[in-house]
Structure 1
Amino acid sequence: MIKIGIVGGTGYTGVELLRILAVHPEAQVQCITSRSEAGVPVADMYPNLRGHFDLAFSEPDPAVLAGCDLVFFATPHGVAMRMVPELMAAGVRVVDLSADFRIKDLDTWARWYGMPHEAPEWAANAVYGLPEVARNAIRQAQLVANPGCYPTAIQLGFLPLLESGLVDASRLIADGKSGASGAGRQGKIGMLHGEVGESFKAYGASGHRHLPEIRQGLAAAAGQPVGVTFVPHLVPMVRGIEATLYAELTTADDFERLQGLYEDRYRDEPFVDVMPAGSHPETRSVRGANHCRMALHRQEDSKTVIVTSVIDNLVKGAAGQAVQNMNVMFGLDETLGLKAPALLP
């Protein structure tokens, strides 16, 4: 059994981790922390977990966390980087669901997150945890930076085109839409149902903090700097991300070959589903599941390839991918605890 600690367990990603780990046959949650809710039984806050966990939230205790095999951080940005060095010294493995270790250029990180980075040596050594790209490095990693939700859907959608060099890497467009749970569980007026319902808007159009992470991942796939325009949108649903991606072909490749390119790239990936060309993946088809579904489109007499990519922002975009990374790190079947199909309706 893998002894698990979760730091910051009261948010949506924390409870999603608990939901997944409750049925994971090789994971045992030893502790789950929350400074604000210390002493409160987990099942009192999240009644869906009654009968699955007898734990109560506790204050973060480095000594207790050091007794775990792996610790998940489901905390606001800036928390993990202060606690991780001590856990690393104790030999604990970590999957960080915040952005603290995702971006390698720490000046860029500080500019977007508004604080200096406090663990630069570990930022340099962290493995970016997109299993479809870095599986071998994840197996050996002590610290894995779990990708963000938008970056997951966007990178998976663009990867085959960039890896094959078939598109102009300087002219990529990512149009993303997310449900309200992507903003977290904090009480914010802008996230109230009366504010979000019956409305649809763009945000962060002048620049969003996921942009440098997206840029970094796509540049690695392309083997060169990329130019990407990313605009996120808030839609009136609880969970789910849809990313519509646009890229300009630089060759005369026929559309059938592009479809084959995607099918070949993801043939052995358990959590990426390339749908038939012309399909329109729906967010409800991945709700509660660790899958990314995508489909290719190309309009008549156009050199623009359109990729539509959907994930559940709390699962493949957060907690599910974190458990997938844990499975890889400990040499388990990568799908363990993650085989449940999506919820419909």
Structure 2
Amino acid sequence: MKEYKVGIVGATGYGGVELIRLLANHPHFHVYAVYSSSQDGTELAEVYPHLSNAVYTLQDINPKNMAEELDLVFTATPSGVSSKLVPQLIEEGIKVVDLSGDFRLKTEALYEKWYKKPAAAEAFLQQSVYGLSEWFADEVESSTFVANPGCYPTATLLGLAPLVSKQMVKSNSIIIDAKSGISGAGRGLSQMAHYAEINENMKIYKVNQHQHIPEIESILEKWDEEIGHVTFSTHLVPMTRGIMSTIYAELSEESSVQELHQLYVDTYQNSPFVRVRKAGEFPSTKEVSASNYCDIGVAFDERTKRITIVSVIDNLVKGAAGQAIQNANIMMGFEQQAGIGLLPVFP
């Protein structure tokens, strides 16, 4: 079977290096080249010594040269970089899975309001397919350009989708309390990610201003136009990996915990990376660490008529690199699990 040549732009970030780790075991994709805008000529092992047996030299980004050599490119860049680079790659005919947030929102005005940066041209925003694999696989399969979902939206949307897709949630009733490990802040230095600031501490941030709010709302509206707005709060906790999204919502119809649990089981029975826990059981972040799984537990309070959904992922895998490979597998016609069917690392 043909081996496809893959390039990774942004290979020195946590998402990029996680792509390298996972693709090292992929049966069809070969990491042919890695790129950095600032470290051209540097051996990747100088940046990440744990890759000392993987010989990769960082190259400067040249879309024309990349088009001649590569079948697929992952762009694991900060927001604001992909908006300029990806259109050049698309115009050169390269298939792209973009891990930044630059193509998840569908209008320039919405992107610029929440990201505070210039948007890509609207034609490219419209061209991208939102790669929540479990729900939009048909669109991904026929696409050449996928916008990989954000880490918080992945956990949250997978948790809410079974209900919202059946219009079972009251408008404007969704509250999302989400917590992330510190790797979600990236490798760059900042006061918020400083050890002395985050160790033995928990911080809420971007209150009512997080750029993932419109991403979550826009996808929920695909399933239910009347869903309204969500309240979404994010926190950093002193662990390296993991996201826990605890979601509260009021139901628009009578139900029971048994019926709701069965709805989730039925919805995800053919989704290899979503594991619904037994009724009354709830997942923890370590139980999905370093894997592409999303584990979900549900509870229903018949007194308040409110459902609680607990959804956990590894922010660097299912929330970034793993889901990107899952999307690439679908796009290229491979099994979703190819190269990413790894069990979680525990403890």
The reply to whether TM is greater than 0.5 is yes
Matched residue, 1:283 = 285
Matched residue, 2:64 = 63
Matched residue, 2:50 = 48
- Equivalent pairs counted in the alignment come to 344
Report deviation, 1:300.
Answer: 5.0
Matched residue, 2:19 = 17
Matched residue, 2:158 = 156
Spell out, residue by residue over 1:154-178, the C-alpha distance to the aligned partner (whole angstroms, 9 max, x if none): 0000001111122203211110000
Pairing partner for 1:114 from 92, 113, 116: 116
Spell out, residue by residue over 1:133-169, the C-alpha distance to the aligned partner (whole angstroms, 9 max, x if none): 1100101111100000000000000001111122203
Q: Distance in 2 between matches of 1:272 and 1:169?
A: 26
Q: Which moved more, 1:267-276 or 1:291-300?
A: 291-300
Helix, strand or coil at the partner of 1:88: helix
CA contact (8 A) 1:175 1:244 kept: yes
Matched residue, 1:195 = 197
Unaligned stretches of 5+ in structure 1? none
Scaled by the length of structure 2, the TM-score of the pair is 0.96
Pairing partner for 1:253 from 252, 255, 265: 255
Helix, strand or coil at the partner of 2:26: coil
1:186 aligns with 2:220: no
Helix, strand or coil at the partner of 1:258: helix
Report deviation, 1:222.
Answer: 1.8
Spell out, residue by residue over 1:45-81, the C-alpha distance to the aligned partner (whole angstroms, 9 max, x if none): 2232232x21111111222321211111011111112
Matched residue, 1:34 = 36
Report deviation, 1:111.
Answer: 1.1
Spell out, residue by residue over 1:273-306, the C-alpha distance to the aligned partner (whole angstroms, 9 max, x if none): 0001121210000110000001001235220000
Q: Distance in 2 between matches of 1:106 and 1:56?
A: 35
Counterpart of 1:79, as a letter, is: V
Matched residue, 2:128 = 126
Spell out, residue by residue over 1:287-342, the C-alpha distance to the aligned partner (whole angstroms, 9 max, x if none): 10000001001235220000000000000000000000000000001100111111
CA contact (8 A) 1:82 1:119 kept: no
Counterpart of 2:247, as a letter, is: L
Q: Distance in 2 between matches of 1:249 and 1:308?
A: 16
CA contact (8 A) 1:271 1:292 kept: yes
Counterpart of 1:186, as a letter, is: G
What's the Cα RMSD here?
1.2
Q: What is the percentage of aligned positions where both structures have the same residue?
A: 43
Unaligned stretches of 5+ in structure 2? none
Q: Distance in 2 between matches of 1:16 and 1:249?
A: 38
Counterpart of 2:59, as a letter, is: S
Scaled by the length of structure 1, the TM-score of the pair is 0.97
Q: Distance in 2 between matches of 1:91 and 1:62?
A: 10
Counterpart of 2:213, as a letter, is: L
